[in-house]
């Protein structure tokens, strides 16, 4: 892909970091990539705690954190990770979305054109 190396690294780092943080120790994180016409679609799937439907829109907001999940996992962060990810994906004319089922897990998808403009 023709893209910004540091920003792509940050995108992957933040999503994979979340996948591990919000998945129990015996869970699984699966990373995939496939070509889709002029784009690459990257998927990061976890078998973790999942995200309730009503929270799925809010996770992209700066400083949004789910307190209930802290109780479950004891993790702490700033709530900036996904806001930065979405900004970087947009810079690459890409898209980001997720599918999630509470109690079963989440899959984050990132689509970035192969020749993404900065
Ligand atoms: N894979 C996931 N499974 C379950 N919940 C998630 C997942 N990824 C993100 N979330 C939820 O979305 C919130 C926002 O994620 P984000 O990465 O922006 O912040 P953070 O992980 O809390 O902190 P930071 O990334 O800044 O250290 C998280 O606090 C969590 O509630
Ligand atoms: Mg995070």
Q: Are 112 and 1 in contact (CB under 8 A)?
A: yes
The separation between the first and the last C-alpha atoms of the chain, rounded to the nearest angstrom, is 12
Is any ligand 1 atom within 6 A of the Cβ of residue 60?
Answer: no
CATH of domain 5-113: 3.30.565.10
Distance 91 CA to ligand 1 centre (A): 21
Whole-number average pLDDT of the chain: 90
Query: pLDDT tens digit string along 31-87?
Result: 999 999 999 999 999 999 999 999 999 999 998 887 666 555 556 678 899 999 999
* Tokens 């999942």 belong to residue: 50
Residue corresponding to tokens 């999630």: 100
Query: Between 90 and 118, where is the model more confident?
Result: 90
Q: Any idea where the domains of the chain sit in the sequence? A: 5-113
Is the Cβ atom of 27 under 6 angstroms away from ligand 1?
no
CA-CA distance, 59 to 22, in Å (whole number)?
13
State the DSSP code for 112: E
Any idea which residue has 């810079």 for tokens?
A: 91
Q: Is 23 in the pocket of ligand 1 (CB under 6 A)?
A: no
Q: Can you give the pTM of this predicted structure?
A: 0.93
């Amino acid at each position: 892909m023709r893209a910004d190396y540091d920003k792509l690294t940050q995108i992957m780092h933040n999503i994979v970091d979340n996948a591990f943080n919000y998945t129990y120790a015996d869970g699984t994180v699966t990373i995939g990539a496939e070509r889709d016409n002029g784009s690459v679609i990257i998927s990061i799937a976890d078998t973790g705690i999942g995200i309730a439907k009503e929270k799925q829109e809010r996770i992209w907001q700066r400083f949004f954190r789910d307190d209930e999940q802290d109780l479950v996992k004891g993790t702490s962060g700033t709530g900036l990770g996904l806001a930065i990810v979405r900004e970087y994906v947009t810079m690459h004319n890409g898209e980001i979305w997720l599918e999630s089922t509470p109690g079963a897990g989440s899959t984050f998808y990132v689509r970035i054109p192969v020749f993404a403009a900065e």
